[in-house]
């Protein structure tokens, strides 16, 4: 794991955008794995800026998002579909056919999950996967558990995740209880990974991810076994690390 520590979220976003830009320029048809939440926003802003300056294009880019809430209409203001369009897709030249976000309301969820896995494989696999981390060490919506997960699946969100995400909803009871998420095996198949975290409230999860044992009780700790991970932190998120 390469660990880099920065002063500001903007610097973190610039560094992550540099890595993503490199991947975008090194392949004719790059495949990006994307995340939602607060963490990727400065990176997406930087990518939009570079697109507007004519430095990068998303014309040949395919994207696969990590996760989506189950049960929210696609156009709900809190769906990850809406988030991605507002924070990135509507502001760059991506072809809508190349955007893939898990369907939170499929008729047959099991069938949908197998198709999502197959589509990622058919696209050639993910070249670079962006990850945030939950306060409980989750990546995607892979919550702490007694085993590492495999392909895309429907997951019951933990109280900690519902608590953390209630800030976007009017009341806690409005937060969906389930999500569809890529599994740990999908994430580990990505050729390169960025994991970004900022703020004191992520420090313990970051410490467990980097210094703890590889254990499904901290799903992000599996990244210790991946050959090409960039961990991008601010001082607060890195504050519990030994060195």
> Which residue, judged by CB position, is nearest to ligand F6R in the bound state?
132
Please give the residues from 139 up to 158 whose contact with ligand F6R meets the rule CB under 6 A.
139-141
Please give the residues from 161 up to 200 whose contact with ligand F6R meets the rule CB under 6 A.
none
Q: Binding of ligand F6R at residue 9 (CB under 6 A)?
A: no
User: Do 148 and 214 contact (CB within 8 A), yes or no?
Assistant: no
Please name the residues in contact with 3: beta carbons below 8 A apart, sequence gap of 6 or more.
210, 231, 233, 238, 241
CA 206 from chain centre, in angstroms, equals 15
Catalytic residue annotation: 67, 136, 138, 143
- Contact letters for ligand F6R, residues 37-76 (x by CB under 6 A): xxx--------------------------xx---------
The correct pick among 138, 189, 207, 230 for binding ligand F6R (CB under 6 A) is 138
Beta bridge partners of 128: 32, 192
Q: How far apart are CA 24 and CA 169, in angstroms?
A: 34
Please name the residues in contact with 11: beta carbons below 8 A apart, sequence gap of 6 or more.
none
Half-sphere exposure of 202 (CA within 13 A, CB side): 24
Instruction: Give 60 or 162: the residue with its C-beta nearer to ligand F6R.
Output: 162
Q: Binding of ligand F6R at residue 35 (CB under 6 A)?
A: yes
Please give the structure tokens belonging to residue 33.
């794995």
Q: Which stretch binds ligand F6R (CB under 6 A): 2-10, 129-137, 146-154, 217-225?
A: 129-137
Instruction: Give 39 or 149: the residue with its C-beta nearer to ligand F6R.
Output: 39
Q: Binding of ligand F6R at residue 132 (CB under 6 A)?
A: yes
Q: Binding of ligand F6R at residue 134 (CB under 6 A)?
A: yes
Q: Which stretch binds ligand F6R (CB under 6 A): 30-38, 205-213, 221-229, 230-238?
A: 30-38
Q: What is the DSSP letter of 172?
A: G
Please give the structure tokens belonging to residue 5.
């520590």
Q: Which residue has the tokens 């369009």?
A: 85
In the complex, the residues that contact ligand F6R under the rule CB under 6 A are 35-39, 66-67, 132-134, 138-141
């Amino acid at each position: 794991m390469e660990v880099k520590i920065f002063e500001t979220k903007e610097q973190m976003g610039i560094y992550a955008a540099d890595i993503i830009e490199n991947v975008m320029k090194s392949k004719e048809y790059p495949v990006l794995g994307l995340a939602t939440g607060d963490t990727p926003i400065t990176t997406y802003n930087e990518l939009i800026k570079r697109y507007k300056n004519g430095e990068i294009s998303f014309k040949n880019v395919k994207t696969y998002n990590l996760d989506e809430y189950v049960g929210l209409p696609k156009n709900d203001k809190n769906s990850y579909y809406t988030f991605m369009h507002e924070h990135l897709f509507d502001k760059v030249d991506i072809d809508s056919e190349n955007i893939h976000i898990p369907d939170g309301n499929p008729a047959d969820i099991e069938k949908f999950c197998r198709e999502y896995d197959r589509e990622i494989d058919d696209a050639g696999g993910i070249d670079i996967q962006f990850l945030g981390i939950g306060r409980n060490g989750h990546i995607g919506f892979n919550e702490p558990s007694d085993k590492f997960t495999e392909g895309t699946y429907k997951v019951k969100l933990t109280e900690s995740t519902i608590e953390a995400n209630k800030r976007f909803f009017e009341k806690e009871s409005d937060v969906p209880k389930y999500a569809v998420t890529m599994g740990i095996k999908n994430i580990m198949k990505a050729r390169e990974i960025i994991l970004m975290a900022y703020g004191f409230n992520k420090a313990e999860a970051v410490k467990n991810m980097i210094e703890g044992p590889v254990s499904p009780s901290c799903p992000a700790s599996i990244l210790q076994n991946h050959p090409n991970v960039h961990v991008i932190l601010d001082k607060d998120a890195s504050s519990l690390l030994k060195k």
